[in-house]
Amino acid sequence: MKKYTFLLVPVLFLVACTPVERSAYNTAVAAKAFLDTERKAHPECNPGTSTVCLDIAKAVAAKDVLIDAITVYCAGPDFANGGSCNAPAKGTPAAQQAVAKLQAAIANYNQAATDLKGAAK
């Protein structure tokens, strides 16, 4: 059972997701795969000062901010224990602010990934 636990958490997360949560989750998963590939393609970036190396570092930081934004957006007793997201109540100022911050984190990562793709060509 332990070897399947890593699959259970993402499945539980997706079961109760709203579109913004799902979009953020999908972006974070894709970011991890993309950045792992770029790091393998550029082993000289440990640390490096070229444009590609700096863009990898920026994209990693943007991915980490996105994950932090997901954690804040979903914070609550269920999510803290590996369950579904405890998003703020819709229509409240807290929900509007949390959604805006999550969308900004997604946009920030997408821009960093676009910059990296352009530099890596």
Q: For residues 57-77, give the mean pLDDT.
A: 94
At residue 55, the pLDDT reads 94
Residue 16, pLDDT > 70, answer no
DSSP string of 31-93, one letter each residue: HHHHHHHHHHH-TT-SS--SHHHHHHHHHHHHHHHHHHHHHHHH-SHHHHTT----PPPTTSH
Residue 13, pLDDT > 80, answer no
pLDDT band of 35, cuts 50, 70, 90:
very high
At residue 18, the pLDDT reads 67
Residue 8, pLDDT > 50, answer no
At residue 26, the pLDDT reads 93
Q: For residues 40-46, give the mean pLDDT.
A: 88
At residue 116, the pLDDT reads 93
Q: What is the mean pLDDT of the chain?
A: 84
CA distance 4 to 39: 27
Q: For residue 89, report the phi and psi dihedrals to the nearest 5 degrees.
A: -60, 130
At residue 2, the pLDDT reads 42
At residue 17, the pLDDT reads 56
Q: What pTM was computed for the model?
A: 0.78
H or E element: which one contains 21? helix 19-41
25 alpha-carbon distance from chain centroid: 6
